[in-house]
C-alpha cells in the first residue's frame, strides 16, 4: 500500500507528500480514507496557520478532521470491527483520566488529541490513518461515505440542540446559516421543534435553510432582524437563540431576541470581546457556550440514516484529492458560494 498526506507547507500552500502507511496499535484500526470534509477551522488554518501554533517550527501541519473510510487493518485487541467495514471517526481522542473525561464531558478534556491541531497536528487528508477503536463508528448500510464524513459537523449541531434542551413547542432563532447553523437547524427539527427562524445575509444560504425546514428566514441586511423575529415568533421573543455565525454583530443581537427565562447558546467561535447589556437579560436568561460534542455520534448517525437529517444537500462543492490546493483556495475566495466542501480521496 502506498500512502501520501497533504501538508500545510506555509499558510496558503498545501502539498501532497509521500508518507509511510501507519501501523495500528493493539486498540486501533487502520482506515483507508474516502471522504474528508473541509471545516471552517481548516480554512482558517490554510489562511493563517493553526489556531494554536506548534511549539516546534518544524512540526508538519496536517488539515482535515471530518472523514470516513474503510477498515483495512486491525490491532490485536480490536473486537468491534472487521476488514471491509465502512466507518467514520470522532477526531478528538481525550485522555480518559481527567475530571472532565470521568464526568462524561470528554469534549472539554484539556489534554485531548484532536486531529489537525495540538499536540500531533495529524490531518485526515491522507490515504491511510489509524484511529482508536473506541472513537470509530460503523456506518449503516444505507448511509453513503460522504454522509459518513459529515457526521462530525452534524454532531456539533446535535450537541448544541441537546444542550439547549430543544423540545416540541420551543420558539427558536438561529443566527447564521453556514454549515453549523444549518446543522443546528436540522438538529432542532429532529428534536421536534417547528417554530424556527434562521437569519443570514446570503440568499443562497437562506434558500437552503428554508428547504431544510426553517419556518421563516430573514436577511439580516435587508430587514431589521430583531423586529422581524418578534413579528414571526411573538413579542416575547425566542425560547432559544443560537449564535452560530461567530460574529460580534450577531452575538450583540442575542439579548434582544431571547425571552425571559430563555437561553442564549453560543455555538460559533466569536473573536475578541462582545459587550453584553445584562439589564436586558436579568430575568433568568441562561448564556451557555458549546464546544464540539460528546456522546453525540450514535444519535447523529441514526438521525442521518433515518432520513431526518439531510447532510447531502449542504454539499455544494466536491474536489478530488489531487486538487487539494484548489479546494482550499476556493474555500477562501468563494465563501459566498460554498456552504460545504468535501474532498474525495479515492480516484
Q: Give yes or no: residues 57 and 129 share one domain.
A: yes
Q: Are 202 and 120 contained in the same domain? A: no
Secondary structure letter of residue 15 according to DSSP: E
Say whether both 146 and 160 belong to one domain. Answer: no
Report helix angle 297-305 to 151-163, nearest 10: 110
Read off the pTM.
0.96
pLDDT digits (tens, 9 = 90+) for 281-303: 999 999 999 999 999 999 999 99
Q: Look at residue 299 and tell me if it is in a domain.
A: no
User: Are 65 and 127 found together in one domain?
Assistant: yes
Statement to judge: residues 13 and 135 lie in one domain: yes
Together in a domain, 193 and 267: yes
Q: What is the pLDDT of residues 217-229, one digit of tens each?
A: 999 999 999 999 9
Query: Domain tally for the chain?
Result: 2
Among 271, 289, 307, give the residue marking a domain's end. 289
Q: Quote the domain boundaries for residue 189.
A: 156-289
165-170 LR contacts (CB < 8 Å, sep 24+): 165/263, 166/191, 166/192, 166/193, 166/240, 167/191, 167/192, 167/193, 168/192, 168/193, 168/194, 169/193, 169/195, 170/195, 170/239, 170/240
In a shared domain, residues 119 and 72:
yes
On whether residue 308 sits in a domain, the answer given is no
Question: Judging by beta carbons within 10 Å of its beta carbon (0-12, 13-18, 19+), is residue 90 exposed, middle or buried?
Answer: buried
* Strand ranges across the sheet with 216-219: 216-219, 195-200, 171-175, 238-243, 258-266, 286-289
> Residue 229 sits in a domain of what CATH number?
3.40.50.720
Is pLDDT of 347 > 70? no
Q: Does the pLDDT at position 57 exceed 90?
A: no
Span 317-335, average pLDDT: 97
Rounded Cα distance, 295 and 300, in Å: 10
Query: Could you tell me if 169 and 145 lie in one domain?
Result: no
**Tell me, what's the pLDDT at 1?**
83
Residue 171, in any domain of the structure: yes
Amino acid at each position: 500500500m502506498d500512502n501520501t498526506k497533504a501538508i500545510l507547507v506555509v499558510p496558503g500552500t498545501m502539498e501532497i507528500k509521500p508518507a509511510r502507511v501507519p501501523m495500528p496499535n493493539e486498540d486501533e484500526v487502520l482506515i483507508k480514507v474516502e471522504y474528508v470534509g473541509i471545516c471552517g477551522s481548516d480554512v482558517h488554518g490554510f489562511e493563517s496557520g493553526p489556531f494554536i501554533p506548534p511549539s516546534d517550527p518544524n512540526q508538519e501541519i496536517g488539515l482535515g478532521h471530518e472523514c470516513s473510510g474503510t477498515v483495512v487493518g486491525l490491532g490485536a485487541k480490536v473486537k468491534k470491527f472487521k476488514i471491509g467495514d465502512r466507518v467514520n471517526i470522532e477526531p478528538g481522542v481525550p485522555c480518559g483520566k481527567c475530571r472532565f473525561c470521568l464526568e462524561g464531558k470528554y469534549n472539554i478534556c484539556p489534554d485531548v488529541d484532536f486531529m489537525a491541531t495540538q499536540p500531533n497536528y495529524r490531518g485526515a487528508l491522507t490515504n491511510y490513518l489509524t484511529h482508536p477503536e473506541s472513537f470509530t463508528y460503523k456506518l449503516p448500510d444505507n448511509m453513503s461515505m460522504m454522509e459518513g464524513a459529515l457526521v462530525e459537523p452534524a454532531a456539533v449541531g446535535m450537541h448544541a440542540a441537546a444542550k439547549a434542551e430543544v423540545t416540541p413547542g420551543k420558539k427558536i432563532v438561529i443566527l447564521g446559516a453556514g454549515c453549523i447553523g444549518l446543522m443546528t437547524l436540522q438538529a432542532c427539527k429532529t428534536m421536534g421543534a417547528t417554530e424556527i427562524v434562521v437569519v443570514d445575509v446570503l440568499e443562497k444560504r437562506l434558500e437552503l435553510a428554508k428547504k431544510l425546514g426553517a419556518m421563516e428566514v430573514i436577511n439580516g441586511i435587508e430587514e431589521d432582524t430583531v423586529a422581524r423575529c418578534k413579528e414571526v415568533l411573538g413579542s416575547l421573543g425566542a425560547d432559544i437563540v443560537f449564535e452560530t455565525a461567530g460574529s460580534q454583530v450577531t452575538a450583540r443581537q442575542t439579548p434582544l431576541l431571547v425571552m425571559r427565562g430563555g437561553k442564549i447558546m453560543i455555538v460559533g467561535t466569536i473573536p475578541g470581546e462582545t459587550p453584553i447589556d445584562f439589564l436586558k437579560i436579568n430575568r433568568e436568561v441562561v448564556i451557555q457556550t458549546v464546544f464540539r460534542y460528546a456522546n453525540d455520534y450514535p444519535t447523529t448517525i441514526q438521525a442521518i440514516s433515518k432520513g431526518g437529517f439531510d447532510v447531502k444537500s449542504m454539499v455544494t462543492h466536491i474536489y478530488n484529492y489531487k486538487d487539494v490546493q484548489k479546494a482550499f483556495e476556493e474555500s477562501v475566495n468563494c465563501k459566498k458560494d460554498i456552504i460545504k466542501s468535501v474532498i474525495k480521496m479515492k480516484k
